[in-house]
Amino acid sequence: MSNPSSPLPRQSRSWITRFIDALPTWLESTLGGNGRFNVVWLMLIGWVFAIPIIVTPLSLAQQGLLAVSVIGLGWLLVWLEQRQSHQSHQRSGERLHLVLVWLSILVTLRYLYYRTFSTLNLDGWLDATFSLLLYGAELYAIMTLLLAYMQTLRIRERQPIDMTAVPGSQWPQVDIYIPTYNEEVDIVRKTALAALAVDYPADKKEVYILDDGRKDPARRERLRQICYDLGCHLMTRDNNDHAKAGNINHAMLRTEGELILILDCDHIPSRCILQHTVGFFLNPKVSLVQTPHWFYNPDPFERNLLTQGQVPVSNELFYKVLQKGNDFWNAAFFCGSAAIIRKNHLLEVGGIAVETVTEDCHTSLRLHSKGYETVYYDKVMVAGLAPEKFSAYVGQQVRWARGMAQILRLEWPLFNRKLTLPQRICYTSATTHFFFGFPRLMYALAPMAFLLFGINPVRGLGLETLTYALPSIILALNANFIVYKEVRFSFWNEIFEYALAFQDGLVTFMALLNPRLGSFNVTEKGLQVTRRSFDWSSVKWLLVICFLSLVSLAMVPYWLISGLQDSDAVLINATWCVVNIGLLIAALVVALEQPQLRQAHRLARQLTAVLHSGNETFTGTTLDISESGAQIVLHSWPNLADHIDLEIHGDTVACASLRGRITRVIPHRDDQVLVAVAFEEMTPQQRDDLTLVIYSDVNEWYSQKRVQVDSPFQSLFFLFSSLMRALRDPKPAEAMQIRKRVQASAQLYTQGYYVSAIAGEINSRTLQLLLPNDRLTTIHPEILEPGQPVGLLVSSDKRDESTRLIAQVDEINRTSDAIVLELSFPQVLDVRQKEQINYLLQTLPG
């Protein structure tokens, strides 16, 4: 009998498996250094194998067979990766991704060779112009594809470095900077409050609000009062030179910390942020530790298309994949906030860069040029605000586009000899990313120009062209699927690019011409969108393109009947145009601003909630929570009054004791009950406590790891349903009347008549009384008339005398057993009666 503890014999592996297994490590050692000859040899070997495959001409039938075979192989590899990913074979997924990347590059270069030497139409100046413009757009797409392949060749996952072995006296001093300009003071206060609550030795941490808003003295005084109340520092300057970068550089010369945690004023930090990041600085070469940005409110794409969190937002692709790929090559860069920087390294490169409006990425490039290291740690430890309005979102994206184009124009990272080759590739990929505007517009204009004016940018467009193009497109989708399947869904990236194409294309073009143009614009946040509206100014040119695309489809019958253009080319351009129209319509709907139905943004958090109603206590878990209310899941149906006391506990130490009003109680799952609570009458201290519970005392934010992966057909269906939902009238959830069920003696009286009754249900505004049918004849007629005021005596077990109240008859219902009177307490008497009503709510037996 064999020993169960003995190791299993190692299975022999084929030379192909061993080769694929060793290839990523070999590429890492080859490309990770500065050895120019290694890179040259790698390129020569690659070309030796690739050139025959790329340039060999084939007949249409042969090329078609090759296309079908390659596409089938791509789908097979994706299926294998999916099968192995369910078995947690991450290494196997990396190998399959590498094979798919190699295949994709081969078929893409084969398509490019065919496209260059067989399909450029240079016959007339108009055809030649459109042909070269479309060709340039395709060259950009191929370049970004190849750069992204290199950028995401390997993904690096990091674990925090334990600091417990380091004596507390040796922990570095950390200054927390919160730069601000004109943002709402309440937003700044929440960030400062959470910064002070960060778990780090008190004598090793200082918090500074860096106010650049010198043009608003009243706001500055409010900030000064906040700093006095909370115990942090306010730092100001007498100018606004270089905006945020200048603000931080000014502060660095006046503070003593070794490390600087930079937080945008709307980025509320978790209390664990320093515990998880400072350990990386034990390596003296580390200059920067960047953590992800996460936004607790939906951006305009999420809100206006009503995706309900089921579609990844744009920053997930960057923070969940691209930054991890950058980190593998020591090319992770500063993103402006949620980052810790070593101050002496920063001073060595002249502080935060001021030459561009994306000072963060520019600063990282200079740190890497000095040979320093950066770290990307993928744990969400800040909660920020995304722009609420589409126009503000466009402004933010345009600033990023301008800044990246400025860095490209000023630094030319691909030719920076102080960077390693992988770093050059990663920075080139980042700085060229926002040039998608011009290519995206060309993809919309090309089929429209053909159908409207007969301008033919692709010579011989037909079945043969498809046999070259489709393998390139599908293999690229397959290769990217393995890496991006949880962070980018089909069609949504195209909608994003179309929505920003005009503004992006213009600003990147101008930045290349003159990188000194443009200034730093603060993104407007904290807005309340109260009504539906359409942002015409942001999408007016997109409307023109969409209209002309629709008109161009009307020309399809003319071309097919006249025979002046090849029918294959007409049908392909018509199909292309239909796809463009669908994406353009979706991009236009993003500009249809949907109203915000809640007072504050809800966050999906599972926190312990304790509800107190009279002598009863119910413990549950929040489904979601905001600064104005929460939804709480209980495991049994509660007998609650509409007003309760409750406690919300954070993940570790924070707790908020609040007063709440129950707005709904509905079944949830199985035997669970969902209780919706609106917080009321909060004091400033309670608001601060709630802020710490919601945003600061967090072990782990929403991880953005999705159960669903990209499925083109499901994504298309969800896109269509999103468009339908976006056109419906939004309706907030209706409040329910919540009353506590009681059993207590009561009396009605008016004009000397007294009638005994039973109190059945009560809340802070209404009371239900039950009268036996045999008392109908004894009731004074005036009592039975709705709107009549009546006196009320209600007995409580805890008080000898009855509680006296004034009520009003609202409704009278007769059943076979009793008369049901619905009474309400007049609001004009709230000052006199509120205390007595609350006493009854607390003491009447259920």
Give the model confidence (pLDDT) of 240-250 as tens digits: 889 899 999 99
Choice between 415 and 28, residue whose per-residue pLDDT is larger: 415
pTM of the model: 0.87
Is the per-residue pLDDT at 782 higher than 60? no
Q: Is the pLDDT of residue 704 over 60?
A: no
At 350, is the pLDDT very low, low, confident or very high (cuts 50, 70, 90)? very high
Per-residue pLDDT of 603-617, as tens digits, reads 889 999 999 987 789
Lowest mean pLDDT among 281-285, 570-574, 811-815: 811-815
Asked if pLDDT for residue 372 goes beyond 90, the answer is yes
Q: Which of 76-85, 159-168, 623-632 has the lowest mean pLDDT?
A: 76-85
Per-residue pLDDT band for 14 (boundaries 50, 70, 90) equals low
The full DSSP string for 634-681 is ESS-----SEEEEEEE-SSS-EEEEEEEEEEEEE-STT-EEEEEEEES
Q: Burial of 504 by CB count in 10 Å (0-12 exposed, 13-18 middle, 19+ buried)?
A: buried
Architecture of domain 608-696: Beta Barrel (2.40)
Per-residue pLDDT at 36: 47
pLDDT for residue 659: 93
Segment among 199-213, 606-620, 799-813 with least mean pLDDT: 799-813
Distance between CA 179 and CA 656 in Å, rounded? 28
pLDDT value at 505 more than 80: yes
If you average pLDDT over each of 160-164, 428-432, 460-464, 773-777, which comes out highest? 428-432
Q: What's the confidence (pLDDT) of residue 68?
A: 95
Which of 437, 223, 251 shows the shortest CA–CA distance to 343? 251
Predicted local distance difference test score (pLDDT) of residue 583: 94
pLDDT digits (tens, 9 = 90+) for 21-75: 555 555 555 555 544 455 556 666 767 777 888 889 999 999 999 999 999 999 9
- CA–CA distance, 303 with 602 (Å, rounded to integer): 13
Q: Which residue has the higher pLDDT, 78 or 361?
A: 361
**Would you mind telling me the total number of residues written for the chain in this entry?**
846
Tokens for 613, please give them: 């109603």
525: Cα separation from own chain's centroid: 15
User: How many CB atoms are closer than 10 A to CB 263?
Assistant: 25
Residue 826 pLDDT greater than 80, yes or no = yes
Catalytic site includes residue 186: no
**What is the Cα–Cα distance from 301 to 388, expressed in whole angstroms?**
10
Q: Selecting from 2.40.10.220, 2.60.120.380, 2.60.40.3680, 3.30.70.20, what CATH number does the domain 740-843 have?
A: 2.40.10.220
Q: Are strands 608-613 and 643-649 parallel, antiparallel or unpaired?
A: antiparallel
Give the pLDDT score at 842.
Answer: 82
Whether 17 shows a pLDDT value over 60: the answer reads no
At 3, the pLDDT band (50, 70, 90 cuts) reads very low
Side chain identity, residue 709: V
What does the alpha-carbon distance between residue 118 and residue 458 come to, in Å, rounded to a whole number? Answer: 9
| pLDDT at residue 839 is higher than 90 | no
pLDDT at res. 844: 83
* Of the listed ranges 194-198, 483-487, 779-783, the one predicted with least confidence: 779-783
Q: Is it true that 170-386 and 740-843 share their CATH fold?
A: no
Percent of the chain at pLDDT > 90 equals 54
177, 235, 377 from 205: Cα distances, Å: 11, 16, 21
Instruction: Give the count of alpha carbons within 13 A of 711, CB side only.
Output: 10
Active-site residue (options: 175, 211, 212, 651): 212
Looking at residue 518, its pLDDT comes to: 65
Q: What is the mean pLDDT of residues 351-363?
A: 94
Contact in structure between 740 and 644 (CB atoms under 8 Å): no
Domain boundaries, the chain: 170-386, 608-696, 740-843
Range from 45-59, 90-104, 716-730 carrying the lowest mean pLDDT:
90-104
Active site residue 212: yes
Task: Quickly state the pLDDT bin for 11 (edges 50, 70, 90).
Answer: very low
Q: Is the pLDDT of residue 311 over 80?
A: yes
Q: Is the pLDDT of residue 230 over 80?
A: yes
In three-state secondary structure terms, 769 is: strand
Mean pLDDT, residues 651-673:
89
Distance CA(474)–CA(479), nearest Å, equals: 9
The region of weakest confidence among 170-174, 632-636, 775-779 is 775-779
DSSP state of 828: G
**pLDDT of amino acid 9:** 43
Average pLDDT over residues 587-598: 86
Q: Is 375 helix (H, G, I), strand (E, B) or coil?
A: strand
The per-residue pLDDT for 522 is 62
Q: Among the listed ranges 134-148, 309-323, 492-506, 511-525, which one has the minimum average pLDDT value?
A: 511-525
Contact between 263 and 175 under an 8 Å Cβ cutoff? The reply is: no
Q: What per-residue confidence (pLDDT) applies to 772?
A: 77
788, pLDDT greater than 90: no
| Amino acid 7: pLDDT | 42
At residue 601 the predicted structure's pLDDT band, cuts being 50, 70 and 90, is confident
Cα separation, 651 vs 656, in Å, equals: 12
Question: Does the pLDDT at position 89 exceed 90?
Answer: no
322 close to 314: Cβ distance less than 8 angstroms: no
Could you tell me which CATH number the domain at 170-386 has?
3.90.550.10
pLDDT-derived band at 431, boundaries 50, 70, 90: very high
3-state DSSP assignment of residue 216: coil
